[in-house]
């Protein structure tokens, strides 16, 4: 383009409007910065107020952390969208782009989204909390160490760490062994057919009554559970506190064996009788 084709009036008009446009742009930037700083303080106040309210409601720490993270992300998203609108960016265009991106990302990380949704259900419904001993439908069991947004961490009795996806836990069966204060003890005991069942029942009941871990206010019973090939299968049933369950089970099993030996009540072992039919050769 030659110099004759350049309109001097356009350049002069641009130079005249440049200070005003620069001032307006600078003013918008300053207002956006102030808005961001004020918004940060308001978000902190909202999070602090919400945290105090949740703590007064006696909600688990895992749920409090999850709610705090969700509220923080949501408020910062609204703040950034407000600042972008103030700078002249079309909010509808931003939402359309974010919507398209979220669909693509959702298809790529649908497994993580399932775990995220499962984590929300676990934190809201609370079928278990940290410190509970649980078992899932796949046979994984242990003490709950942490409930995160995506995964739940268990520690097995032999100190192995098992990490379970929250989506699988939320959609499957969960057995919580420590939800109640007491837990029932069932100890199988087999005696010989020649033994006196009444005497064996009295001996085992004495062991249950003398053990300090057995809850005396709850039912204690010894009954015939089944008739097996090698003997009569009895069951000693009582209740113990959750913290005393395994020590009480091991101790009672041992004490019942000693008590039956003292009473000369025989505990049989599997036996197999084989008969041979020998025919003489003609």
Residue range(s) defining the domain that contains residue 168: 128-176
Q: Give the contacts of 94 (CB within 8 A, at least 6 positions apart).
A: 81, 84
- Average the pLDDT over each of 3-12, 165-174, 196-205, 266-275 and give the range with the smallest value: 3-12
Q: What percent of the chain has pLDDT over 90?
A: 25
Tell whether 17 and 95 lie within a shared domain.
Answer: yes
Mean pLDDT within 17-34: 68
Residue scoring higher pLDDT (95 or 33): 33
Q: Is residue 278 part of a domain?
A: no
Q: Is residue 76 part of a domain?
A: yes
Give the HSE-up count for residue 250: Cα atoms under 13 Å, Cβ half-sphere. 3
pLDDT on residue 282? 47
Query: Confidence band (pLDDT; 50, 70, 90) for 88?
Result: low
Mean pLDDT within 243-258: 92
If one counts every other C-beta atom within 10 angstroms of the C-beta of residue 244, the result is 18
Q: In what order do the strands lie in the sheet with 232-241?
A: 182-191, 232-241, 221-227
Residue scoring higher pLDDT (228 or 15): 228
| DSSP string of 256-272, one letter each residue | HHHHHHHTT--------
What angle in degrees, to the nearest 10, is found between the helix axes of 61-86 and 91-108? Answer: 140
Tell whether 240 and 157 lie within a shared domain.
Answer: no
pLDDT on residue 45? 87
Q: Does the pLDDT of residue 23 top 70, yes or no?
A: no
CB of 176 closer than 8 Å to CB of 159? no
- Identify the bridge partners of residue 226 per DSSP, sorted by sequence position: 233
What angle in degrees, to the nearest 10, is found between the helix axes of 110-125 and 61-86? Answer: 130
Specify the DSSP class assigned to residue 281. Answer: -
Tell whether 145 and 237 lie within a shared domain.
Answer: no
- CATH number assigned to the domain comprising residue 96: 1.10.287.1260
How far is the C-alpha of 104 from the C-alpha of 117, rounded, in Å?
Answer: 18
Q: Does the pLDDT of residue 255 top 90, yes or no?
A: yes
Mean pLDDT within 56-62: 67
Tell whether 75 and 166 lie within a shared domain.
Answer: no
pLDDT on residue 21? 60
How far is the C-alpha of 268 from the C-alpha of 232, rounded, in Å?
Answer: 9
Tell whether 93 and 133 lie within a shared domain.
Answer: no
How far is the C-alpha of 99 from the C-alpha of 93, rounded, in Å?
Answer: 10
Average pLDDT score, the chain: 79
- CATH number assigned to the domain comprising residue 220: 3.30.70.100
Q: Is residue 117 part of a domain?
A: no
pTM of the predicted protein model: 0.55
Tell whether 71 and 143 lie within a shared domain.
Answer: no
Please tell me the total count of domains within the chain: 3
pLDDT in tens, 110-140: 556 677 778 777 877 788 888 888 888 888 8
Mean pLDDT within 16-37: 70
Which run of H or E residues covers position 232?
A: strand 232-241
Q: Does the pLDDT of residue 253 top 50, yes or no?
A: yes
Tell whether 138 and 96 lie within a shared domain.
Answer: no
Place of tokens 């020590």: 247
């Amino acid at each position: 383009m030659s110099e004759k084709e350049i309109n001097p009036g356009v350049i002069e008009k641009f130079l005249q409007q440049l200070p005003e446009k620069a001032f307006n742009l600078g003013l918008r930037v300053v207002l956006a910065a102030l808005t961001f700083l004020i918004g940060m303080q308001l978000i902190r106040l909202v999070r602090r107020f919400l945290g105090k309210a949740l703590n007064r409601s006696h909600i688990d720490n895992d749920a409090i952390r999850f709610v705090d993270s969700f509220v923080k992300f949501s408020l910062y998203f609204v703040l950034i969208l407000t600042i972008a609108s103030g700078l002249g960016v079309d909010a509808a265009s931003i939402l359309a782009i974010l919507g398209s991106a979220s669909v693509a990302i959702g298809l790529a990380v649908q497994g993580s989204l399932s775990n995220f949704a499962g984590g929300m259900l676990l934190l809201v419904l609370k079928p278990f909390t940290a410190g509970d001993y649980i078992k899932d439908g796949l046979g994984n069991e242990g003490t709950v160490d942490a409930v995160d947004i995506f995964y739940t961490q268990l520690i097995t009795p032999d100190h192995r760490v098992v990490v379970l996806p929250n989506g699988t836990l939320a959609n499957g069966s969960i057995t919580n062994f420590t939800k109640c204060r007491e837990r029932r003890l069932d100890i199988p005991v087999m005696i010989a057919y020649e033994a006196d069942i009444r005497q064996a029942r009295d001996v085992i009941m004495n062991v249950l009554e003398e053990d300090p871990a057995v809850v005396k206010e709850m039912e204690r019973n010894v009954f015939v559970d089944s008739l097996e090939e090698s003997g009569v299968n009895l069951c000693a049933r009582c209740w113990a506190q959750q913290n005393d369950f395994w020590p009480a089970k091991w101790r009672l099993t041992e004490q019942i064996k000693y008590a039956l030996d003292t009473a000369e009540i025989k505990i049989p072992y599997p036996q197999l009788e084989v008969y041979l039919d020998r025919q003489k050769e003609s």
